[in-house]
Amino acid sequence: MSKYLSKTLTNIHHWRRAGVGEHLLEVAERLIVARGPERVSMALVARNAGVSRATVYNYFGDYRGLLTRFAAFRFGQLMAVLDAQMAQHAGRPRAQLEALLRASVASFERYDRFFRVMVSEYAASVEGVPHDALTQQIAQGMRQYVDRLAVPLRAGMRQRLFVGREPQRMAWAITGMVIHAVLRILQQSAPATRAGEVQIMENIIFHAALIEPAAARRRQAAGRRMVALNR
């Protein structure tokens, strides 16, 4: 190992231990929230953090490395919120799912800069753009989110609260609805209009996701009667 690399690794270890890394991430997050990710540079982070550009580059690697850490931090926050909601409504799958949906919509709306980065990068990865640490982090965060949704769906299907046998697939479908809902919400500028849009989109998601078995059975029975009448 070269002396330069050894010194760099030693410095990184010291910065992490001294809390410099956390400080840099806090500064970067504040700038991204205020200005948007496209208007934040490594030099700007260094200037606002009161450190050299070399320090920022040594810690994050490059700008996408900064965004990767930012995404990991935000997803970590979201998962903590969702886990708290699941614990609060333990044993009640429907209440759990409703709480998860409301919490995720509220979180994505509040941290809309992160949400836009997440959607943009995830869409690019789906379209075949080469994966790097950032796209991998966002894909992992999305999987974690879907896994959280699948827990109450799975329990609800076992208890016959929900129709279906594929909780993971339904969780991905609901995730798509949530993303669409938040995109619609973020298009609204007035707080009152936003609040109304949130309510509308939440209702759409809930009605699509929380299908009662009794209603499904009635539709199936009506379908069988129609078949019988047409014979």
Range in 9-18, 22-31, 58-67 the model is least confident about = 9-18
Fold classification of 64-230 is: Tetracycline Repressor; domain 2 (1.10.357)
Contact 71, 56 (CB under 8 A): no
- Report d(CA 82, CA 107) in Å as an integer: 10
pLDDT attached to residue 11: 46
pLDDT digits (tens, 9 = 90+) for 107-139: 888 888 888 888 888 777 777 666 788 888 998
pLDDT attached to residue 82: 96
Give the mean model confidence (pLDDT) for residues 87-112. Answer: 90
pLDDT digits (tens, 9 = 90+) for 150-207: 999 999 988 888 877 889 998 998 888 888 888 888 887 777 676 777 777 777 766 6
Residue of 24, 49, 28 whose CA lies nearest to 37? 28
- Report d(CA 175, CA 186) in Å as an integer: 17
DSSP track, the chain: --HHHHHHHHHHHHHHHHTHHHHHHHHHHHHHHHH-GGG--HHHHHHHHTS-HHHHHHHHSSHHHHHHHHHHHHHHHHHHHHHHHHHHTTT-HHHHHHHHHHHHHHHHHHTHHHHHHHHHHHHHHHTTPPP-HHHHHHHHHHHHHHHHHHHHHHHHHHTTSS--S-HHHHHHHHHHHHHHHHHHHHT--SHHHHHHHHHHHHHHHHHHH---HHHHHHHHHHHHHHHHHH-
Contact 134, 120 (CB under 8 A): no
Whether pLDDT at 67 is above 70: yes
Could you state, in order of their start, the residue ranges of all structural domains in the chain? Answer: 3-61, 64-230
pLDDT attached to residue 176: 87
User: Domain spanning 3-61: which CATH class is it, in words?
Assistant: mainly alpha
Could you tell me which residues come within 8 angstroms of residue 149 by beta carbon, excluding any fewer than 6 positions away?
Answer: 97, 100, 171, 174, 175
